[in-house]
């Protein structure tokens, strides 16, 4: 069969890498893809938001399945568009993707169905939101309702920061319409984890727990990014918690979405805050996490394509997913300056010294081939992803490869996986 992956980051590289290994796949395409993806898939110069051109290409090439990576096209209704055209697609409908597309929708759903989450207040009126920032316990969190490319969550440690966050969203329109409404939420402490489950809207097939590293600097310092590294499994989610997350978050959310007339098909991503063997949902996303998808897909032993295809058909196959033993860690290398401003088009000279092995694969995010040169083309550039029998070994392998390819223009955290290491040696 032929498969098209929509997107062009590290997550989509991991998807193309995994999908193209399936014995039932003859050809993989990716729109728009990146330099690394072009080694596993034919890259198309079509924007992820150009549904017409994507559907036209799928029909012309008789592509059997389209798999959507990022949230933007899902929230804009790519699945509804493709299904109307009679095309098979993996990813939730626009109505179901509201779980990520509107923080107000997702918080209200959690409140209505008793899914554990932080206390929160919704505001459409700026004066009322400002009044709340003057009385709520510090610290607190101000969130833009809509999609804001990962920048719409502001942690406020003073009332002034809170008022500034509200004004920037509701008065100055920093995030456009996405910030016209806001959620003000209690600040939750603990250790974060990411939990994913495939679902056809009724059945669920959980993946192994993973953990992202959002802040840009070691020790979780500095501003939040899209994610600077991830590993799986995440020992913070012990077996008991894993079962409770399935029973108290994943299953009730899928049921709630069906009850609300928004049947959710795809992969559901719960971002969790874990403390004292208990947890609360920070957010839902309607897609795979990036970078979490990189170590997850590298450890996945089962063929992913029958799972994705059966979900697109509406009747998911439920054989438990098989995983490679051990751990997998992904360390992100980003352009110096990220998540602030950074230079693009810088040549990556040392990468040609490395060839992927069974233990280590380098997934590309913002990269581009131009005139036979490999250039940076985004904030996050590479995801060095390594398997190991222990978390310590996987960390060592990843950083060894990084030492051999690192460049002045790239930054990375040196403590990815440390929390797991500490937990296991406890
Ligand atoms: P979200 O997009 O809601 O997951 O927020 C992005 C990041 O902001 C999360 O991964 C957390 O690191 C942080 N965050 C969001 N909500 C809270 C909260 N209520 N308390 C503490 N940190 C939060
Ligand atoms: N790893 C965070 C995200 O994908 O949103």
pLDDT in tens, 99-126: 999 999 999 999 999 999 999 999 999 9
Q: What is the pLDDT of residue 176?
A: 85
Q: What is the pLDDT of residue 136?
A: 96
Measured distance CA(394)–CA(359) in Å, rounded: 8
Burial class (CB in 10 A: 0-12, 13-18, 19+), 322: exposed
Name the closest ligand to CA 183: 1
With a 6 Å cutoff on the Cβ, whether 153 touches ligand 1 is yes
Measured distance CA(345)–CA(233) in Å, rounded: 35
Counting ligand 1 atoms within 8 A of each CB, the residue from 186, 283, 292, 339 with the most, and so the one to mutate, is: 283
**Whether pLDDT at 276 is above 70:** yes
168 token code pair: 């920037």
CB 320 within 8 A of CB 208: no
**Whether pLDDT at 35 is above 90:** yes
Ligand 2 center to 85 CA (angstroms): 30
**Whether pLDDT at 426 is above 60:** no
Nearest ligand 1 atom to alpha carbon 103:
3
Counting ligand 2 atoms within 8 A of each CB, the residue from 285, 296, 331, 416 with the most, and so the one to mutate, is: 285
**Whether pLDDT at 295 is above 60:** yes
Question: How crowded is residue 215: how many other Cβ atoms within 10 Å of its Cβ?
Answer: 16
With a 6 Å cutoff on the Cβ, whether 6 touches ligand 1 is no
Question: How crowded is residue 277: how many other Cβ atoms within 10 Å of its Cβ?
Answer: 10
**Whether pLDDT at 97 is above 60:** yes
The mean of the pLDDT values for the chain is 96
Measured distance CA(231)–CA(416) in Å, rounded: 8
Name the closest ligand to CA 380: 2
Q: Is the peptide bond before 326 cis (omega within 30 degrees of 0)?
A: no
Across the chain, how many H-helices and E-strands are there? Answer: 14, 23
Per CATH, the architecture of 191-313 is what? 2-Layer Sandwich (3.30)
Pick the CATH number of 125-180 from 3.20.20.70, 3.40.50.300, 3.90.1150.10, 3.30.1490.20: 3.30.1490.20
CB 150 within 8 A of CB 184: no
Q: Which of 41, 48, 46 is nearest to 18 (CA)?
A: 41
The residues with which 387 forms a beta bridge, in sequence order, are 328
Ligand 2 center to 226 CA (angstroms): 6
Residue keyed to tokens 């009322």: 128
CB 161 within 8 A of CB 130: no
Opening angle at CA 7, ends 406 and 9, nearest 5: 15
The residues with which 31 forms a beta bridge, in sequence order, are 6
CB 393 within 8 A of CB 401: no
Per CATH, the architecture of 327-423 is what? Alpha-Beta Complex (3.90)
Q: What is the pLDDT of residue 64?
A: 98
Measured distance CA(139)–CA(182) in Å, rounded: 16
Q: Which of 352, 347, 355 is nearest to 371 (CA)?
A: 347
Q: What is the pLDDT of residue 423?
A: 87
Fold of 2-93: Rossmann fold (3.40.50)
**Domain assignments of the chain as residue spans, ordered by start:** 2-93, 125-180, 191-313, 327-423
């Amino acid at each position: 069969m032929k498969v098209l992956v929509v997107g062009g980051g590290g997550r989509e590289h991991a998807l193309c890498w995994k999908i193209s290994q399936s014995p039932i796949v003859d050809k993989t395409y990716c729109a728009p893809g990146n330099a690394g993806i072009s080694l596993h898939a034919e890259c198309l110069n079509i924007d992820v938001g150009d549904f017409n051109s994507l559907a036209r290409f799928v029909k012309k090439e008789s592509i059997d399945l389209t798999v959507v990576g990022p949230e933007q096209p899902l929230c804009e209704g790519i699945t509804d568009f493709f299904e109307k055209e009679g095309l098979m697609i993996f990813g939730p409908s626009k109505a179901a993707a509201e779980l990520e597309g509107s923080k107000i929708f997702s918080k209200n759903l959690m409140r209505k169905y008793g899914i554990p989450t932080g206390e929160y207040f919704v505001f459409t009126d700026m004066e009322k939101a400002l009044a709340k920032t003057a009385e709520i316990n510090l610290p607190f969190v101000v969130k833009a309702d809509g999609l804001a490319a990962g920048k719409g969550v502001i942690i406020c440690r003073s009332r002034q920061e809170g008022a500034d966050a509200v004004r920037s969203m509701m008065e100055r329109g920093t995030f456009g319409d996405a910030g016209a409404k806001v959620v003000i939420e209690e600040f939750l402490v603990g250790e974060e984890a990411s939990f994913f489950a495939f679902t056809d809207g009724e059945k669920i097939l959980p993946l192994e727990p993973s953990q992202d590293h959002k802040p840009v600097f070691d020790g979780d310092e500095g501003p939040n990014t899209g994610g600077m590294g991830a590993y799986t499994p995440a020992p913070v989610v012990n077996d008991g918690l894993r079962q409770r997350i399935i029973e108290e978050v994943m299953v009730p959310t899928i049921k709630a979405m069906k009850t609300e007339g928004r049947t959710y098909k795809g992969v559901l991503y719960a971002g969790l805050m874990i403390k004292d063997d208990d947890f609360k949902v920070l957010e839902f996303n309607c897609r795979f996490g990036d970078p979490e998808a990189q170590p997850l897909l590298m450890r996945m032993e089962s063929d992913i394509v029958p799972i994705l295809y059966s979900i697109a058909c509406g009747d998911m196959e439920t054989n438990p997913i098989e995983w490679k033993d051990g751990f997998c860690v992904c360390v992100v290398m980003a352009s110096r300056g990220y998540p602030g401003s950074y230079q693009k088009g810088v040549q990556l000279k040392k990468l040609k010294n490395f060839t992927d092995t069974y233990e280590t694969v380098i997934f590309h995010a913002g990269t581009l081939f131009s005139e036979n040169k490999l250039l940076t083309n985004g904030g996050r550039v590479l995801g060095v992803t390594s398997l190991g029998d222990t978390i310590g070994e996987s960390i060592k392998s990843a950083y060894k490869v990084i030492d051999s390819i690192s460049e002045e223009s790239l930054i990375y955290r040196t403590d990815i996986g440390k929390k797991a290491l500490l937990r296991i040696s406890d």
